[in-house]
Structure 1
Amino acid sequence: MPIKAVQQFMLGTVLNNEQQAKETLAAMKAAGYDGIELCGFMIHPIGFVVKLLTKAAGMPVGKGGNLDWHKLVQEAGLKVVSLHTDLGSLERDAHAVAEEAKSFGTEYVVITGMYRFDYGDEATMHELAKRLNKAGETLQKEGIHLLYHNHNCELRPVNAAKRAYDILLEETDPAFVNFEFDSYWFTEGGANALAWMQRLGSRMKLWHINDRGTRITGSAITPILKTDSMELGTGNMDLDSLMTQALSVNVDAIILESHRNWVDNSPVKSFQLSAKYLAQKF
């Protein structure tokens, strides 16, 4: 069975000091999660500008970068399922990234997406596939596997027949590059997440899971509702079909991630509610 985990990004507001981090990780374990997915810039001190940018994007990283994450994870009895980083850091010093991943006992390093990057430019996407292949080959020599994590920008068309994600799937070498698929972001982008998961097949090593719906009840002015991320089983996504597909290809971990719209604005209450859905499926 795959490991059930939470992405560290979701926890930025409840990792502000050691005691709070311990309580948060203990709550995860108690809810039934076995692992955590770490972010490189949340386990190291970062500058004020980066903190400001992530907060503006709805993903505050908190003060967890000043904590001892090796100790925290070990004491909580959690497994690190992967380490998120950026392609630039990987290209600059793959050995250092690989060593850090090994220090946490994980075999996966994940590229989380390219910022200030034109996913609609075909030549740029061909070049990205080459860069990923090269980085993945370098990591492979270090005993670490490279995965690519999507958002919705990879759905941009690059020509009349293909989208950016098509190029990544077709031009990356499965020996060096595979995928952490985020079904929420492709659903949010209007795509058929199940069809893409089926196309990925066994190249999908990790699965980012979330639900999508609304808590708004509408108004007298318009019945049209705005959707957002939701706890598992409370939204409108066909998570059961997605789960069946993920289990059929033996994904190594199912990882919960949401950035906002939590129950009572609490990521802890949110992952506790989502854990109930996961418990039903395992």
Structure 2
Amino acid sequence: MQISVQLYSVREALARDFPGTMQRLADLGLTIAEPFHLVEHQHELAQAAQRTGITYPSAHQSFLGDVDFAPMLRAAGDLGVTHLIDPFWNPEDWKRADKVRSLARRMNERAEQAADAGITVGYHNHHFELASQLEGRSALELFAGELDERVVLEVDTYWAVVGGADITALLGALGDRVRLVHLKDGDLAEDPAGQLPLGEGRMPLEQTLSAARAAAYGVIEFDAYAGDIFEGIAASRAHLRQLQQRPEPAGI
């Protein structure tokens, strides 16, 4: 699993100084980042990639609504993005099975459109897709069961647990469709103010990593953090690298 960072974590710093913020991430040893608002930030991202060598194999962009998808695919292609992830959909729609199936059909249409551009599309969850239970399973699992095989999932492991999921069971049920995971820690409250660097909160991180073996990218993210965000990212990266270097227990 390669380590990335979701740039939403440093959104305030980016707004003040985009080039300087990207350089600080590179100075921490990060070589991969996951942008948000890909189209809006395309020019700055391209310049940052040239200066720092940071690449963007995945990116967030809202595309499931009634929007022009073509510019998004062009931006993704120009920046080397191979996994374009929609980060959010209306929580109310996850409470109804017919709405979830309709959303899956929309995602399948986007997957077909993206395939010609060599781009894979996917969805990133919050807590409400897991808190909603439909037909004996979570709304996210219902959604996954309706998806074309070309669609991937980026499981936000923290928000999945906040939503009531057993994260190892969920990752096992979703299987190889989970190609990316968001990794964060904290007090597991819906208020993101309690988020902490990896290893300092209540998330079962070792079990999560073991269950997420199909994921190519582990994306560090803070929705909020009371401390210095760059120090938090550095601590999270160091802890994650330490766990990755541990030998697996015999029999696993």
**1:202 alignment counterpart:** 176
Conservation of the 8 A alpha-carbon contact between 1:119 and 1:156: no
Distance 1:66 1:166 in 2: 33
Partner residue, 1:30: 27
- With over 3 angstroms needed to count, the CA separation of the structure-2 counterparts of 1:197 and 1:130, relative to structure 1, is same
Please tell me whether the aligned partners of residues 150 and 185 of structure 1 are also in contact (alpha carbons under 8 angstroms).
yes
Q: Deviations over 1:22-71 (max 9, x none)?
A: 33222222323221111126x62xxxxxxxxxxxxxxxxxxxx5962200
C-alpha displacement of 1:129: 1.0
Contact conserved, 2:193 with 2:224, CA < 8 A, in 1? no
Give deviations 1:55-102, integer Å, cap 9, x for gaps: xxxxxxxxxx5962200122111110212111346x533322111101
Inter-CA distance 213–163: structure 2 relative to 1 (3 Å threshold): closer
Partners of 2:25 and 2:195 in 1: CA distance: 19
Cα displacement (A) at 1:227? 8.1
The answer for the alignment partner of 2:164 in structure 1 is: 190
1:84 — aligned with what? 60
Q: Distance in 1 between matches of 2:88 and 2:217?
A: 19
Distance across 2 between alignment mates of 1:213 and 1:163: 22
What CA distance in whole angstroms lies between the structure 1 residues aligned with 2:27 and 2:177?
31
- Seq. identity, %: 23
Say whether the 8 Å CA contact 2:19–2:44 is kept in structure 1.
no
* Structure 1 stretches of at least 4 aligned residues deviating more than 3 Å after TM superposition: 156-160
**Cα distance change, pair 237–227 in 1 and its aligned pair in 2 (3 A):** farther
SS in 1 for 2:85: strand
Q: Greater shift after overlay, 178-187 or 27-36?
A: 27-36
Residues 94/164 of structure 1: CA separation in 2 closer, same or farther (3 Å cut): same
Aligned-pair distance for 1:14?
0.6
| Aligned match of 1:59 | none
Q: Tell whether 2:139 aligns with 1:164.
A: yes
Q: Do the aligned partners of 1:184 and 1:211 also contact (CA within 8 Å) in 2? A: yes
For the pair shown, the structure with the greater C-alpha radius of gyration is 1
SS at match of 1:191: coil
Q: 1:118 to 1:107 in 2, by over 3 A?
A: same
Segments of structure 1 that go 5 or more residues without pairing to the other structure are: 45-64, 215-225
The answer to whether structure 1 residue 131 and structure 2 residue 130 are counterparts is no
TM-score by length of 2: 0.87
**Residue 15 of structure 2 aligns to which amino acid in structure 1?**
N
Task: Please tell me the residue identity of whatever aligns with 1:230.
Answer: L
- Counterpart CA distance in 1 for 2:240 and 2:135 is 39
Structure 2 regions of 5+ residues with no counterpart?
246-252
Normalising by structure 1, we get a TM-score of: 0.78
Instruction: Provide, for residues 113-162 of structure 1, a one-character-per-residue CA deviation record: whole Å limited to 9, x for no partner.
Output: 21364211111111111111111111112211011101111124354523
Provide the rounded CA distance (Å) in 2 between the counterparts of 1:181 and 1:74: 29
Amino acid corresponding to residue 74 of structure 1 in structure 2 = Q
In 2, the alpha carbon distance for the partners of 1:15 and 1:259 equals: 15
Confirm or deny: 8 A CA contact 1:262 1:269 kept in the other structure. Answer: no
Amino acid corresponding to residue 201 of structure 2 in structure 1: G
**RMSD (Å), alpha carbons:** 2.2
Q: Is contact 1:180-1:207 (8 Å) kept?
A: yes
CA distance in 2 between counterparts of 1:112 and 1:210 reads 16
Structure 2 residue 5 is the aligned partner of structure 1 residue 6: yes
Aligned counterpart, 1:72: 48
Amino acid at match of 2:197: E
SS of residue matched to 2:137 = coil
- Residue 94 in structure 1 maps to residue 60 in structure 2: no
CA contact (8 A) 2:4 2:31 kept: yes
Q: What letter is aligned with 1:76?
A: T
In structure 1, what residue type is equivalent to 2:33?
I
Structure 2 residue 225 is the aligned partner of structure 1 residue 261: yes
User: How far off its partner does 1:187 sit?
Assistant: 1.0
- Counterpart CA distance in 1 for 2:54 and 2:134 is 44
Output the CA distance in 1 between the equivalents of 2:101 and 2:43. Answer: 39
Q: Report what 2:125 is aligned to.
A: 150
The 2-side partners of 1:88 and 1:244 are apart by 31
